[in-house]
């Protein structure tokens, strides 16, 4: 769910539009879009409007516009689609590994599974962004505009809420392992995940209510009621607080308490550290890194939203604008990679999944080769006995290697 205002055109002589300052080549102050930054582009923005392609701009001429149009309409959509493919493949693999190779009833794995589902659904908004960025308008209709923006918004909030829950779970596991044993149960974790999705839906109700296709430029965005400026500013502050800085405060508090607990334990805890304590430390480290990467990917986005409320950014910040969009979506691609590097169980799960896929390909190729070879062997056998007619019945009594591949693999402990 994206809220940053779209970059304004290069300096030009255009009619003034309410809420838009184009005289100095600044960012627009049109309504923010909770789906994608590019959905907020003003109708006279030459960066995303084909009617401006033949205009001449001071210092750059029409060639400058041609370059920016190529970046906006060709290169950026390709980057979006690449991020989408990587994110979908990675998170699908995480979901598959949790369900088939890891202990699915582990509390940590339940939360990781929920985060992977949210990341995967979040990736589904990128193809719509790429299409609109290429066509310079929303071709899917008003209903799809509302549906796509709502799904995108829900999954953006679900991601940060999942990380908040995972950080709280780490606090309970490290600081209150005995008292929190009731809360750290699979049934409770599943109920918490359901609550996260419900809360995310409630948070994005303004998107559900006001998302629509703009009449002036045909882009999918939010049509705020009057006073529109107050609604826009309130919505940005609201989303920044509920969707980032509030959860981040809770996350930081959890890990601060964890650090205090670990230090207060002193040398005695280090000397008597059990296998379970080491496992908890590894899981905590993984969650910390995942949270840190999330902050690095999303902090520029929210800071740019806040800055854009206070000042009008020059149009030269167009590159930063694109970078912030890609970075926020790329976070959903990073999590599967982090799991692979930081979790021994996920490493083993990745290896098992890849080996299983490789074995299936090899077995399929061997099966095709044996089918092609069998008639040749029969013909060679019959050549030495002309006049003898045999009814050959093919019976394959060999044990398929696929059976051994499909046998249940003992679940890993998390």
Q: How confident is the model at residue 44 (pLDDT cuts 50, 70, 90)?
A: very low
Per-residue pLDDT for 48 more than 50? no
**pLDDT for res 369:** 57
Which residues, 6 or more positions from 285, have their beta carbon under 8 angstroms from its beta carbon? Answer: 342
Task: Measure the CA–CA gap between 159 and 333, rounded to whole angstroms.
Answer: 13
Q: What's the pLDDT score for residue 267?
A: 52
Element at 221 (helix H, strand E)? strand 220-222
pLDDT digits (tens, 9 = 90+) for 324-355: 888 888 888 888 888 877 777 777 777 777 77
Is the pLDDT score of 158 beyond 90? Answer: yes
Determine the topology of domain 37-341 in CATH: Rhopdopsin 7-helix transmembrane proteins (1.20.1070)
H helix or E strand, kind and range, residue 182? none
Q: How many angstroms separate the CA atoms of 131 and 272, rounded?
A: 58
CA neighbours closer than 13 Å in the CB half-sphere of residue 229: 8
In the predicted model, what is the mean pLDDT of residues 19-41?
37
HSE, side-chain direction, 13 A CA sphere, residue 40: 27
Residue 15 · residue 132 · CB < 8 Å? no
Once rounded to an integer, what is the mean pLDDT over residues 61-90?
74
How much is the pTM? 0.70
Q: How far apart are CA 99 and CA 307, in angstroms?
A: 43
Crossing angle of helices 318-342 and 344-383, rounded to 10° = 80
**pLDDT, tens digit, for every residue of 380-413?**
444 555 544 444 434 444 444 444 444 444 444 4
Cα angle vertex 138, ends 132, 143, to 5°?
130
pLDDT at 352: 77
Q: In whole angstroms, what is the distance from residue 15 CA to residue 12 CA?
A: 10
What pLDDT digit, counting tens, does each position of 288-323 carry?
888 888 889 999 989 988 888 888 777 667 778 778
pLDDT at 104: 63
Which residues does 283 contact at the CB level (< 8 Å), separation at least 6?
108, 170, 173, 343, 414
- With b for 16 or more beta-carbon neighbours within 10 A and e for fewer, the 135-157 pattern comes to ebbbeeeeeebbebbbbbbbbbb
Q: Are 125 and 97 in contact (CB under 8 A)?
A: no
pLDDT band at 134 (very low <50, low <70, confident <90, very high): confident
Residues 6+ apart with CB under 8 A from 29: 5, 19, 20, 21, 229, 232, 308, 312
The answer on pLDDT for 157 being more than 80 is yes
- Domain segments of the chain as ranges: 37-341, 353-406
> What is the helix (H) or strand (E) element at residue 222, kind and residue range?
strand 220-222
Which helix (H) or strand (E) segment is 212 a member of? strand 211-213
Model confidence pLDDT, tens digit, residues 255-297: 898 888 877 765 555 554 566 666 677 777 888 888 888 889 9
The end-to-end CA distance of the chain, in Å, is 32
Average pLDDT over residues 24-46: 36
| Dist. CA 52–CA 129, nearest whole Å | 21
């Amino acid at each position: 769910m994206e809220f940053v205002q779209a970059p304004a055109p290069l300096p030009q002589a255009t009619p003034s539009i309410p809420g838009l300052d184009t005289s100095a080549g600044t960012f627009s102050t049109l309504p923010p879009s909770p789906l994608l930054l590019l959905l907020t582009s003003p109708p006279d923005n030459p960066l995303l409007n084909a009617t401006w392609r033949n205009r001449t701009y001071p210092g750059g001429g029409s060639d400058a516009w041609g370059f920016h149009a190529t970046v906006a309409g060709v290169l950026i959509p390709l980057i979006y689609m690449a991020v989408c493919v990587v994110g979908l493949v990675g998170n699908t693999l995480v979901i598959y590994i949790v369900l088939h190779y890891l202990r699915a009833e582990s509390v940590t794995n339940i939360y990781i599974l929920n985060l992977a589902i949210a990341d995967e659904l979040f990736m589904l908004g990128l193809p719509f962004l790429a299409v609109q960025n290429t066509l310079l308008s929303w071709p899917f209709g008003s209903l799809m505009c509302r549906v796509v923006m709502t799904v995108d918004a829900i999954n953006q909030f679900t991601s940060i809420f999942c990380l908040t829950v995972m950080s709280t779970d780490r606090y309970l596991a490290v600081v209150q392992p005995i008292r929190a044993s009731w809360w750290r149960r699979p049934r409770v974790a599943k109920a918490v995940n359901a609550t996260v999705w419900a809360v995310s839906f409630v948070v994005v109700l303004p998107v559900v209510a006001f998302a629509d296709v703009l009449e002036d430029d045909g882009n999918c965005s939010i049509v705020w009621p009057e006073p529109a400026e107050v609604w826009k500013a309130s919505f940005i502050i609201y989303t920044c607080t509920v969707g980032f800085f509030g959860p981040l405060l809770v996350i930081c508090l959890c890990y601060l308490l964890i650090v205090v607990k670990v230090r207060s334990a002193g040398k005695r805890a280090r000397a008597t550290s059990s296998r379970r304590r080491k496992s908890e430390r590894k899981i905590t480290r993984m969650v910390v890194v995942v949270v840190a990467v999330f902050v690095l990917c999303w902090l520029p986005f929210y800071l740019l939203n806040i800055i854009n409320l206070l000042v009008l950014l020059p149009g030269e910040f167009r590159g930063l604008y694109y970078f912030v969009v890609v970075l926020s979506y790329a976070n959903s691609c990073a999590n599967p990679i982090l799991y692979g590097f930081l979790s021994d169980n996920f490493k083993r799960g990745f290896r098992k999944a890849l080996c299983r896929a490789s074995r299936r390909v090899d077995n399929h190729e061997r099966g095709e080769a044996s089918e092609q070879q069998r008639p040749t062997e029969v013909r060679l056998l019959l050549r030495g006995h002309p006049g003898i007619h045999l009814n050959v019945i093919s019976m394959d009594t060999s044990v398929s290697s696929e059976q051994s591949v499909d046998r249940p693999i003992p679940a890993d402990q998390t």
